[in-house]
Structure 1
Amino acid sequence: MSKPVKPGAGEAAEYVLGLLGQEDSRAFAQRLKSDEALRAKVEYWEGMFSDLPAEQAEPPPTGMFEKILDRIEGEGADLPGTVTKRAGTANWFEISPGIKGRLLHVDRAQNRQYLLIRMAPGASYHPHSHDADEQSLVLEGDLSFGDLNLKAGDFHVATPSSSHPTGRTVNGCLVHVAMSLDQH
Structure 2
Amino acid sequence: MADHRKPGDGEPLDEDILVALLSAQKPVPPDRETRDRIWARLRQLRVSGAGHVTRKSTEGMWFDLRPGIRVKPLHADRRAGYRSFLMQLEPGARYPSHSHDQDEECVVLKGTLRIGNLEVHEGDYHLAQCGSEHGELHSDEGALIFLRTGYAETAPGFWQRMEILGRTLRARLRG
Normalised by the size of structure 1, how large is the TM-score? 0.58
- Map of 1:116-155 to 2, 5 A cutoff? 116-155=86-125
Partner of 1:88: 58
Query: Is structure 2 residue 148 aligned with structure 1 residue 178?
Result: yes
Counterpart selection for 1:159 from 104, 125, 129 = 129
The structure, 1 or 2, with the larger RCO (C-alpha pairs under 8 Å, 6+ apart) is 2
Give the 3 Å change call, closer, same or farther, for CA 78–125 of structure 1 in structure 2: same
Corresponding residue for residue 111 of structure 1:
81
Segments of structure 2 that go 5 or more residues without pairing to the other structure are 1-40, 155-175
Q: Find the counterpart in structure 1 of residue 67 from structure 2.
A: 97
Cα distance between partner residues in 2 of 1:76 and 1:106: 16
- Identical aligned pairs, as a percentage? 34
**What SS does the corresponding residue of 1:179 show, helix, strand or coil?**
strand
Aligned pair count reads 113
2:118 alignment partner AA: L
Deviations 1:118-167 (A, max 9, x none): 00011000111001100000000010022100000110000111111111
Q: TM-score, normalised by structure 2?
A: 0.61
Q: Cα offset for 1:83?
A: 1.5
Q: In terms of Rg, which structure is larger?
A: 1
Question: 1:76 and 1:163, CA in 2 relative to 1: closer, same or farther beyond 3 A?
Answer: closer
Amino acid in the other structure paired with 1:107:
D
1:110 Cα offset (Å) = 1.2
Q: Tell me which amino acid in the other structure corresponds to 2:98.
A: H
Amino acid at match of 1:83: V
CA contact (8 A) 2:117 2:135 kept: no
- Looking at structure 2, the residues matched to 75 and 109 of structure 1 have their Cα atoms a distance apart, in angstroms, of 21
Kindly provide the amino acid, as one letter, of the partner of residue 92 in structure 2. Answer: G
